[in-house]
Amino acid sequence: MEKPKLVLIGNGMAGVRTLEELLKLAPDQYEITVFGAEPHPNYNRILLSPVLAGEMQVQDIILNGLDWYAEHGIQLHTGKTVTQIDRVRRVVIADDGTEARYDRLLIATGSTPFMLPIPGRQLPGVIGYRDIKDTDEMIAAASQYRHAVVIGGGLLGLEAANGLKLRGMDVTVVHIGPWLLERQLDEVAGKMLQQSLEDKGLKFLLSKQTEALLPAPDGGPEGRVGAVRFKDGLQIPADLVVMAAGIRPNYALAEAAGIHCNRGIVVSDTMQTYDPRVYAVGECVSHRGIAYGLVAPLFEQAKVAANHLASHGIGRYQGSVTSTKLKVTGIDLFSAGDFQGGQDDAEEITLNDPHGGVYKKLIVKDNKLVGGVLYGDTADGPWYFQLLKDGRDIHELRDSLIFGQSQVGDVGHAGNSKAAEMADSAEVCGCNGVSKGKICQAIKEKGLFSLDEVKKHTKAASSCGSCAGLVEQILASTIGGAYTPAKLDSKPVCGCTEHSHKAVREAIVAQRLTSKEAVFDFLEWKTPNGCDKCRPAINYYLISSWPHEAKDDPQSRLINERAHANIQKDGTYSVVPRMWGGLTTPAELRAIADAAEKYQVPTVKVTGGQRIDLLGIKKEDLPAIWADLNAAGMVSGHAYGKSIRTVKTCVGAEHCRFGTQLAMDMGVKLEKMLFDMYAPHKVKLAVSGCPRNCAEAGIKDVGVIGVDSGYELYVGGNGGIKTEVAQFLCKVRTDEEVMEYAGAFLQLYREQGWYLERTCHWLERVGLDAVKRQVVDDAAGRQALYARLLDSLKDAKDPWQTSRETQPVKQFIPIKLEA
């Protein structure tokens, strides 16, 4: 018998959560088709801010990978926008002509950013902040431009501003209100937040109305935005304008189909529209005149919609009492109910410690807590929210209420953990509506022992993650001594496997696995071909563990490594020839100039790594331009690779009157030794000829600083979004020792580091002392590491020369330096 067809329009968090709930209740009831306008599977939109800030990558925020859809027999159409709902034929039609028939239709089209209706809003460089595409545009802009203006002082605006600031932009937040987050905070908390953010380098213009966006005078033919003008006449520079002034329910598709809408798709308590075959959930919905923008109410709607789609018919959504628990750039905030106060029949209880960064205000009316706002210390937020929802008489708690749950005598013993004192009915995860009782039940019934297991079975801490600490407390109090905090090395590589990076690497070495197929087979991979997260990692582990036996798989490398160039935002590529130690010759400069003219390269730039970058090259020209550069003796600078990038040098004792060592000579030796070294992540070195450190060796993966008696070696530096200062490793006397110690350190990193783990994070995980024991203290071990490095690199060749008979790259482009 043919199954009825369910079509979901919108592949976001609310719609897919409805499918998850439905599959629990009736896993085989429907043949399901999903249309998503974005080219991605379902992801956590809440975590776009950490992606913008560089703390996470897109693959880290995927909630349901492609394998999940396949596992449940769901046909997924990504990158297809539904443009028409034909309710007579019961068919939806996408922009590319794809059609899907439905017996039941679920609309979850979400919302769209509100773009201020002002002149200039269509200029290039003016964007909203809603999805991965917007995030990618901001990251790209931050790498090219200086001034950013964020319009809107709400949560999204502040997160966007913080991320852009971390990426090096000069950021001004413009807000029409008198204080930040006025819907979540009162004036005192809002001003405290502003001061904290100003201390981080953000600028604010409050009570400002934007009048127009102006093109830059030199904005090129596309007329990129260049300034923001306000109604009071003030004008500020803006190379990027991010509109974060609110959202609007996206209901145009439903309205065009004749479905009743009123500032959203109007639904009943069963989440049905006026057409009983059509349901709607999420930010596109208007329920009892309210459109919700928080995750928790949307997930409550999802549960009710799934109940009725499964034909259970007993769920009712009657609206949500909401609280807001936020973490804005590391600052904890909480608010619930009527937190503004000011009513004649209500009293305010406040605790204000500006120097300590803590502020609490509770609103009490008729001996009941009706609202509250917390800044800096939000640990008691869930307890206050439970009191508010329960409408509990707090008369006996009144004197100690502001000091939190642990100070109130009727809820437990002082000194117990917050989790132990909570009632089973208390809500732990506001995003997913998960109580303490539900978590405890899952822990006991399913034998859960880790935070990841609790996330998987209950969804607690799986959205914004702000309750993760409390969930871990519940784990500890429920299973006692059986609980140990999750270790970093136990996290699965990806959704294709339960095995960690550590386990995969150990299996490859112990079982002498030399191909990804062998890895998949031995470790019983869930998917036959892996995914774009695990394949590059396994490829690295294979060729770093067995350099002469495992075959490098180009299709398991990222696009930049396959093209041997950096793809740019317009689809062209960037080519960076190597300049050993930052040195070049007139012949090389002539070859670069000839190539730039021949291939009409629009931009030629000196990089921060002392090389020359040719930007704007067409993909089809890459083989030819590299052939021309190779003919002149120039090889790839690997500016695209998880590999050795550059060895930056100062002029050293070769020329500088302060130089104590031959920095350029040492840099060239190191770079030639390490050429084509594949690593867990990019690796950068620097050699400074004296302690003045002009080559910035203190923020490199390996930094070498010349002193009178030899060299000092520093490791684990990183000049990225979050600057990490390199740590002192040892002091050596000769060039040969520099190469041996640096080479041994890098080989240890290659053998122990996880894919996409920088040296600073690897050192944080394993400890500098452990590295010193193996590289500095153990001479035999160091020499063995160094020998393995040299052995793995002995046949290194330029990637574009692999099809031709050439000498290994270490034998050509000899550079002789004299003091």
pLDDT of amino acid 447? 67
Within 8 A by CB and 6+ apart from 296, the residues are: 320, 322, 430, 431, 432, 433
Domain ranges of the chain: 5-111+249-309, 126-245, 412-486, 501-557, 642-819
Q: Which residues are annotated as a binding site for siroheme?
A: 694
Please report, rounded to a whole number, the percentage of residues in the chain having pLDDT higher than 70: 91
Q: Which residues are annotated as a binding site for [4Fe-4S] cluster?
A: 650, 656, 690, 694
The radius of gyration of the chain from alpha carbons, rounded to an integer in Å, stands at 30
Per DSSP, the residues of 349-413 read EEEEETTTTEEEEEEEETTEEEEEEEES--TTHHHHHHHHHHT-B-GGGGGGGGG-GGG-TTSS-
pLDDT of amino acid 659? 93
pLDDT at 415 over 70: no
pLDDT per position as a tens digit, 721-731:
567 899 999 99
Strands 203-206 and 210-215: unpaired
Residue where the block lists tokens 């004192």: 421
pLDDT of amino acid 527? 83
Of the pLDDT bands very low, low, confident and very high (cuts 50, 70, 90), residue 532 is confident
pLDDT of amino acid 411? 39
Q: Which residues are annotated as a binding site?
A: 650, 656, 690, 694
Of the pLDDT bands very low, low, confident and very high (cuts 50, 70, 90), residue 417 is low
pLDDT of amino acid 260? 97
Structure tokens at 639: 């500016």
pLDDT per position as a tens digit, 259-273:
999 999 999 999 999
552: how many CB neighbours lie within 10 A of its CB? 14
- Give me the CATH code for the 126-245 domain, please: 3.50.50.60
Fold of 642-819: Sulfite Reductase Hemoprotein; domain 1 (3.30.413)
631: how many CB neighbours lie within 10 A of its CB? 9
Residue bearing the bigger pLDDT, 211 or 532: 211
pLDDT of amino acid 238? 95
Residue bearing the bigger pLDDT, 466 or 249: 249
Domain 5-111+249-309 shares a fold with domain 126-245: yes
pLDDT of amino acid 491? 72
Residues 540 and 66: beta-carbon distance below 8 Å: no
* Mean pLDDT across 754-775: 91
pLDDT at 475 over 60: yes
Please report, rounded to a whole number, the percentage of residues in the chain having pLDDT higher than 90: 60
- Give me the CATH code for the 412-486 domain, please: 1.10.10.1100
pLDDT at 406 over 70: no
pLDDT at 11 over 60: yes
pLDDT per position as a tens digit, 421-444:
678 888 888 777 888 999 988 887
* Mean pLDDT across 113-126: 94
Of the pLDDT bands very low, low, confident and very high (cuts 50, 70, 90), residue 815 is very low
* Mean pLDDT across 70-82: 96
Euclidean distance between CA atoms 749 and 360, whole angstroms = 47
CATH 3.50.50.60 assigned to 5-111+249-309 = yes
